[in-house]
Amino acid sequence: MNAEIRYVPSPIGFSYDTIFSALANQSGRMQYYKEEMGSVRIRIGRNEFISAFNNLEIIAIKPIQAPAPVFQLKFYAIKNRKLNKLPV
């Protein structure tokens, strides 16, 4: 696959509670991680990642494409929009 994913950074700052990421290594095995504000990144299961993607308020998505056949997707989520002051 030679297609390149284009990424446009947000022109405004935003705040988030959690970063979720999915990483495919060179063998194609997916690994999923969760990083909450103020804590270290921990490995999570596929079901937790999918549940977060389907149920949380996603405010930004960042695809990262490396030169190798490694693909990573990060998304920034908030747990409660009322407590998080966003301009949108």
Tens digits of residue pLDDT in 4-41: 556 566 666 677 889 999 988 778 788 999 999 889 99
C-alpha separations of 79 from 8, 36, 46, 57 in Å: 24, 11, 19, 7
Domain coordinates in residue numbering, the chain: 18-78
10: number of CA atoms within 13 Å, CB side?
A: 12
Q: pTM of the entire structure?
A: 0.71
What is the per-residue pLDDT for 48?
94
pLDDT beyond 50 at 1: no
pLDDT tens by residue, 52-87: 989 888 888 877 766 665 678 888 888 766 555 555
What is the per-residue pLDDT for 43?
96
